[in-house]
């Protein structure tokens, strides 16, 4: 039966995995089921993500397969990480207390006494068989299913050392290895404890995001209710200093909102009636009445958590090699250990020394570091990205950034604010600029033109206008007080003063819109309207170039305006008056030239190009369609976050490669040393634990990534054009 066109995806939390070999074995088991398209098992996150056809396979089959392999489905509400740490801590404490005297009486001659071997054996037995029982349990389950894991090596190594020592004790042989077995268990347990702590820290992103959410909301009538009870359309109050419970629209009040925990933006944003606010952001000094627009799993915070969680569960292509190596590493190590034992005995070496070398090979060969190299870096990198307002959708995205050499940037809503604003008011001689703006806004208040909206928004006072008349292609007319006011093109006026004509010409040359205002037949002033360039766009372009990237500005706007914007932000290559299909075609053209292209956009018209690009980057202030088709999402509108995203992705990939190099180099170098007797089992156990801790700790360095964004020193925005003017 063929696979369904759109397979379902489910996530399964798994208990009992101890190494990458466990993950590989579960992955093979799930993939082998009919109807399973793909199964990605992540050792670091202890989860399996399975794509399947529900007509061919059920969730019960997944559970049965996992349990049949010796593992279990975890309770999703159970904090397994905390429980694992507590269990490890208890066993480690017992192991240390018993192992210290064993080592002391075994290795310090002054502390020796007659029959010390029997005391060492008595103390070592609970260490090997109770403290180390999880190793033996997992190894036994694996062998019962015809496979091996890291725990197989540990179990066989420590069990063999203990058994040899017991035989030697009763056979009255001089040398015993009780201290070796106890120290190996202790060191490996210590390494796992450090590893578990580090893994838990690497997963703090999701927990910190979840902790941001408000628990209750205060309704408009003053009643306090759980956030889960809020529905779309309900109104709630947000007092100064409180968290906004869910996404909504301000219907009353004005304030500033600190959204840094969501967007990574350090500067609070002013909000008023009609503005959108995001759940979990913190209200400033004003009181707000907000109408809920998104609740539950539809809020921006919930979406970010979901995207981060999916990213942390993903597998980077570079990890697949490590997974394949880990799957065959344990059987290979067992074969090398047997060969080492045989070679030493055939070479005429003492059996005890041959045994010691074989145990060292078993212990040193554990591929823990290989299994942790990639997933821990992805967890920390994507988590740090979330803290900066950058959502990286998976390991594949990290590798896609490595070869990106060209960034295509949409103009409207990405480089610019995406809304028209009055950027300057220039009156004629002897005219009050506020009167010019007030009379123009009073008439335009009766118009539905987009430019009218910008003019009205800029005015602080309005007077009632009468006799409104729309003049198609020219402007509008109305009476304000006793003045007959005209607002529109300069052709509305028989005569325009030279100083105002100069302002009009300058504005048009800069790609901005000039609106002439006058009354009683005389032009009295000029309003210049433009889509403001974001104040950080020029800095963002500079940062992208600093990363070795070429930048192209792509827009459906006219050529003159596009060139003006490019001049402001420092982009020389500008393509204007392009349709959505043209944007897609331009990305294809660049790819055909050998470029690896990243596309940055925010609108529905950008979606085809975002999907086509090697790396799609959506500005989170844009549409859901753009976000869904992208690989990276910038929660804020700050273009510098694009540079943050690319730099962080590259840094994460570099850490992954460093981790894999260390893991491969460690095993490649250490196994021959152990086989030739250079490393004894205790040193091997310490080195194995250190390698895992090193890999995880190296990944945690990504938490210190800061990015390019810093608090801005001014709240002003840049208008489209070469200079700045203020109303």
Nearest-CA neighbor of 269 among 594, 611, 534, 588? 534
> C-alpha angle with apex 552: 548 to 555, nearest 5 degrees?
155
Interatomic CA distance for residues 664 and 238, integer angstroms? 54
Beta strands 269-271; 255-258: pairing state: antiparallel
Residues 528, 503 contacting (CB under 8 angstroms): yes
Interatomic CA distance for residues 204 and 637, integer angstroms? 25
Ordered DSSP codes for 598-635? EEEE-SGGGHHHHHHSSEEEEETTS-HHHHHT-SEEES
- In the set 151, 309, 323, 410, the catalytic residue is 410
The phi and psi torsions of 209 (rounded to 5 degrees) equal -65, -45
Nearest-CA neighbor of 549 among 483, 615, 496? 615
Residues 29, 66 contacting (CB under 8 angstroms): yes
Sheet holding 235-238, edge to edge: 224-226, 216-219, 235-238, 288-294, 247-253, 276-277
Half-sphere exposure of residue 727: CA atoms within 13 angstroms, side-chain side: 21
**Residue 601 corresponds to which tokens in the numbers above?**
């956009």
**Residue 671 corresponds to which tokens in the numbers above?**
């196994």
Interatomic CA distance for residues 323 and 311, integer angstroms? 18
Cβ–Cβ contacts within 10 Å for residue 64, how many?
12
Residues 415, 533 contacting (CB under 8 angstroms): yes
**Residue 715 corresponds to which tokens in the numbers above?**
């709240």
Half-sphere exposure of residue 97: CA atoms within 13 angstroms, side-chain side: 8
**Residue 27 corresponds to which tokens in the numbers above?**
């992955």
Concerning whether 498 is annotated as a catalytic residue, the answer is: no
Interatomic CA distance for residues 386 and 391, integer angstroms? 5
Q: At 552, is the secondary structure helix, strand, or coil?
A: strand
Ordered DSSP codes for 502-549? HHHHHHHHTT-EEEEEEETTEEEEEEEEEEEEPTTHHHHHHHHHHTT-
What's the length of the chain?
727
SS3 content of the chain, % helix, strand, coil (to 5): 50, 20, 30
Interatomic CA distance for residues 347 and 77, integer angstroms? 57
Which residues are marked as active site?
Answer: 410
């Amino acid at each position: 039966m063929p696979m369904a066109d759109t397979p379902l995806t489910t996530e399964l939390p798994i208990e009992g995995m101890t190494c990458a070999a466990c993950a590989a074995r579960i992955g093979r088991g799930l993939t082998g089921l009919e109807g399973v398209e793909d199964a990605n098992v992540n050792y670091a996150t202890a989860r399996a993500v399975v794509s399947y056809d529900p007509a061919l396979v059920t969730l019960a089959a997944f559970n049965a397969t996992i349990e049949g392999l010796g593992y279990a489905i975890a309770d999703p509400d159970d904090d397994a990480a905390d429980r694992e740490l507590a269990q490890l801590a208890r066993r480690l404490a017992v192991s240390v207390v018993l192992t210290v005297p064993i080592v002391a009486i075994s290795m310090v001659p002054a502390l020796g006494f007659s029959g010390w071997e029997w005391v060492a054996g008595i103390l070592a037995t609970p260490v090997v068989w109770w403290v180390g029982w999880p190793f033996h349990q997992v190894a036994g389950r694996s062998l019962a299913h015809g496979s091996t894991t890291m725990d197989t090596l540990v179990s066989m190594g420590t069990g063999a050392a203990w058994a040899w020592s017991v035989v030697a004790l009763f056979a009255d042989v001089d040398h015993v290895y009780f201290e070796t077995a106890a120290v190996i268990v202790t060191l490996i347990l210590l390494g796992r404890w450090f590893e578990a702590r580090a893994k838990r820290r690497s997963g703090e992103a999701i927990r910190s995001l979840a902790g941001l959410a408000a628990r209750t909301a205060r309704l408009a009538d003053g009643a306090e209710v759980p956030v889960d009870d809020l529905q779309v359309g309900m109104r709630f109050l947000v007092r100064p200093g409180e968290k906004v419970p869910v996404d909504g629209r301000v219907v009353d009040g004005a304030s500033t909102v600190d959204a840094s925990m969501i967007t990574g933006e350090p500067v609070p944003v002013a909000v008023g009636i009609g503005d959108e606010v995001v759940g979990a952001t913190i209200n400033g000094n004003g009181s707000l009445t907000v109408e809920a627009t998104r609740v539950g799993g539809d809020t921006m915070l919930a979406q970010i958590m979901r995207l981060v969680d999916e990213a942390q569960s993903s597998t980077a292509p570079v990890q697949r090699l490590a997974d394949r190596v880990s799957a065959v590493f344990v059987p290979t190590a067992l074969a090398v250990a047997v060969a080492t034992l045989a070679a030493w005995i055939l070479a005429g070496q003492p059996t005890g020394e041959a045994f010691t070398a074989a145990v060292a090979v078993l212990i040193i060969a554990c591929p823990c570091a290989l299994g942790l190299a990639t997933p821990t870096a992805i967890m920390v990198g994507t988590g740090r990205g979330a803290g900066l307002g950058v959502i990286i959708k998976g390991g594949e995205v990290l590798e896609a950034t490595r070869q990106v050499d060209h960034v295509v940037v949409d103009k409207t809503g990405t480089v610019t604010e995406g809304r028209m604003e009055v950027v300057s008011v220039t009156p004629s001689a002897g005219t009050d600029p506020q009167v010019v703006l007030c009379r123009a806004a009073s008439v335009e208040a009766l118009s539905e033109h987009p430019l009218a909206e910008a003019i009205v928004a800029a005015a602080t006072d309005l007077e009632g206008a009468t006799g409104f008349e729309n003049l198609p292609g020219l402007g509008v007319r109305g009476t304000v007080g006793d003045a007959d006011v005209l607002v529109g093109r300069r052709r509305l006026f028989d005569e325009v003063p030279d100083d105002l004509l100069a302002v009009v010409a300058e504005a048009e040359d800069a790609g901005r819109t000039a609106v002439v205002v006058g009354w009683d037949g005389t032009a009295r002033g000029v309003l210049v309207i433009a889509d403001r360039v974001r104040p950080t766009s020029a800095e963002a372009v500079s940062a992208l170039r600093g990363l070795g990237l070429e930048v192209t500005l792509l827009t459906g706007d006219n050529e003159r305006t596009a060139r003006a914007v490019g001049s402001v932000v420092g982009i020389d290559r500008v393509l204007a008056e392009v349709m959505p299909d043209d944007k897609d075609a331009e990305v294809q053209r660049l790819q055909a030239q050998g470029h690896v292209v990243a596309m940055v956009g925010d609108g529905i018209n950008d979606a085809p190009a975002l999907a086509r690009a090697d790396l799609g980057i959506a500005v989170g202030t844009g549409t859901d369609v753009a976000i869904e088709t992208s690989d990276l999402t910038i929660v804020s509108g700050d273009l510098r976050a694009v540079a943050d995203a690319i730099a962080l992705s590259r840094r994460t990939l570099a850490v992954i490669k460093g981790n894999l190099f260390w893991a491969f180099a460690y095993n490649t170098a250490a196994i021959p040393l152990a086989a030739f007797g250079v490393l004894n089992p205790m040193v091997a156990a310490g080195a194995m634990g250190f390698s895992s801790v090193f890999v995880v700790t190296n990944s945690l360095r990504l938490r210190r990534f800061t990015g390019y964004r810093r608090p801005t020193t001014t709240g002003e925005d840049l208008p489209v054009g070469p200079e700045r003017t203020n109303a």
